[in-house]
Chains A and B, each alone.
Chain A
């Protein structure tokens, strides 16, 4: 059922929704900002623009909001959507920035030229931009974050994490996952998160460095490979070399988790958490004979 087809002057429309309905929003250019409230309804607000209409279409399974140009592509429109946090969310755009705050269901975001910033999400959370950076925080579930030409960041999130970009850095902070994969062609990788027993962690880059923060008490079998890079560790490890200076492995603790670190021509470094280093340094200041464990 088509609820609204309006030339864009000033849209402020609220549509009731039922549990199980999915929210789909598409806009050619501008911004889509989604926030939450505790009503079972979706509010759509749009700023004035050119000869562009906003269509709101409701079916049994979804509520669709999209911008349409009357002649040619739609002009730039800023959409502000307020929705119940339980709704699954599907955002798409071309020259569109996307931001989502507070949702607690699955989220899919795709844009070409635009930044993506999501806080929240559970289940399958898939974020993708070609030319913009992608940032995800506070999510749980199967998390997939992709960019092509910019950075990717995931923080304070848990689950299975896949992060990928071609020409950008990947930063994973306070991530708690049993499976974490990060890959860049021309960028640095920085992982500062849990290393779970039995977990699998794979980080690879062609032309960048890899820094992994290893919490004290971690158990991991670590495999390091490089072609023209270097390896360093803040704490002692016993290397088993299979190719001198290029490929080696070692075990931290019981070796329960599997960690693969690969950089074709960048450095690979293992460090201790900053808080641990600070405490250790203070201990050293008090006791100069204190040994590293």
Chain B
């Protein structure tokens, strides 16, 4: 794999390359199957993100979350590696219709202002250096949703709580395995996107659990 060009594929996708670089990269793509596949993978991520359905949480759920987490939610210290930041950035973009909105105090009003998902591009989130913030937001969203589940677990059926927690454990195990794999092979796009997708699954399940808590409150 040609690292020089691999690193610039997202710029190419965004149309940010200078004309001469673009031509050189396209010539390289004609002969490099690895870069061609990586580019195809990046394109799939963008397509997947663009096809995401918006899911706007109810204001009622936010009021419950706000009451529980107070004014200053605890922030977890992050020690993500660069590839994990990429993954977290993708994950955050993937779940932006959920976690970030779920935790915003004025989600309903902002929903009307939210840009068309078709105009959102995932890769630049990682490429512009904002992934550290994205990773913090992801971890913060997980923290907050886990807190909602922890505080509402007594209101849920014990079997339901057990099933939710078992499945969260399964996902955590998968995330840990994917993180180790990414650490060993950081340039592997599949592993990075798999990690991001698995992180997205955790947010989805936590959000589902929070919705169950809200429904019985």
Contacts and interface: CB of A to CB of B under 8 A. Distances in A.
A262 interface: yes
Given A130-B164, A204-B194, A167 B159 contact: no
Contacts of B107: none
A204 B41 CA distance: 14
A183 B196 CA distance: 14
B7 interface: no
Contacts of A186: 170, 174
Contact of B198 (A206, A242, A246): A206
B139 interface: no
Contacts of B100: none
The size bracket of the interface on B is: 20 to 34
Interface string B154-178: 0001011001101100110010011
Contacts of B205: 148, 166
A227 interface: yes
B167 A167 contact: yes
A243 interface: yes
Interface string A111-149: 011000000000000000011000000000000000011
A101 interface: no
A173 interface: no
A36 interface: no
Dominant SS among interface residues on chain B: helix
Contacts, number: 85
A112 B181 CA distance: 34
A223 B212 contact: no
Contacts of B198: 185, 206
A260 to B, nearest CB: 7
A196 to B, nearest CB: 17
B44 interface: yes
16 contacts: A95-B157, A112-B212, A148-B205, A149-B163, A149-B167, A166-B167, A166-B205, A186-B174, A204-B194, A206-B198, A227-B190, A242-B1, A243-B34, A247-B190, A249-B33, A264-B181
Given A167-B167, A246-B190, 16 more contacts: A112-B157, A130-B163, A130-B208, A148-B167, A149-B166, A166-B201, A166-B205, A183-B201, A185-B171, A206-B178, A223-B40, A227-B190, A242-B1, A247-B190, A264-B174, A265-B177
